[in-house]
Amino acid sequence: MQSLKLAVIAAIAIGFGGSAQADLKPSSGFGKPITQAELSAWDIDISTSDGVGLPSGSGTVAQGAKIFAEKCATCHGEGAKGGTQFGQMFGGLDSMTTPKRKLNPSSMFPYAPILFDYTKRAMPMDAPQSLTNNEVYALSGYIYSLSGLVPKNATIDAKYLSNMKMPNRNGFISDDRPDAKAVRCLSKCN
């Protein structure tokens, strides 16, 4: 009898455990409503495929070169050729079908605004979110100009970045795994 009781209790426990998540969901939440104005300082992401989220402002390639020398070259090297911490940031646009693919903003990014998003949120590494929008536009123009994707006299803004056609635009495929076809061989396998 005792063991039967235990079995019943165990069965209930297992049944409950399986659907605990749904059962425990509270009928009301504990969030506090927030307005767009209140959260705007955090709303920094760019939808990079269409440029939605790119702020107003602009910057020139020439300004970007100057800002890069002041704030970026310590780690990335003079002229973005590679520095004490990180490697070269341009070129290799035709490297994808070679054994040594070059990974940098110009060769890899399918959409130009990716560079704005990343630089604004994470750079410089020791002072992220310190660059103004104008500075980030200028730096984006400068970095892309080193690979010839932007002319040296260009002024970069939201519209400019959104309209750029990147070399690796069609370089991505979606996840099609599982792709390996292994069999569970047990004897005389090799």
Tell me which residues touch other proteins (CB under 8 A): 20-21, 24-26, 29-36, 38-39, 42-49, 84-86, 96-97, 99-101, 103-105, 108-111, 114-115, 117-118, 121-122, 125, 128-129, 168, 171-190
Q: Closest CB to other proteins among 1 and 29?
A: 29
Residue 102 CB, nearest distance to other proteins (Å)?
11
Other beta carbons within 10 angstroms of residue 99's beta carbon come to: 5
- Do residues 59 and 137 touch, judged by C-beta distance below 8 A? yes
Contacts (Cβ under 8 Å, ≥6 apart) of 72: 80, 123, 124, 139
Q: Closest CB to other proteins among 60 and 107?
A: 107
Residue 2 CB, nearest distance to other proteins (Å)?
25
Residue 85 CB, nearest distance to other proteins (Å)?
5
Report the sign of the C-alpha dihedral through residues 92, 96, 101, 106, in that order: positive
Backbone angles phi, psi at 52, to 5 degrees: -65, 130
Tokens coding 148: 């010839």
Residue 19 CB, nearest distance to other proteins (Å)?
12
Q: Closest CB to other proteins among 4 and 185?
A: 185
Q: Closest CB to other proteins among 10 and 125?
A: 125
- Report which of 72, 142, 155 is spatially closest to residue 106, judged by C-alpha positions: 142
Contacts (Cβ under 8 Å, ≥6 apart) of 125: 75
Q: Closest CB to other proteins among 58 and 95?
A: 95
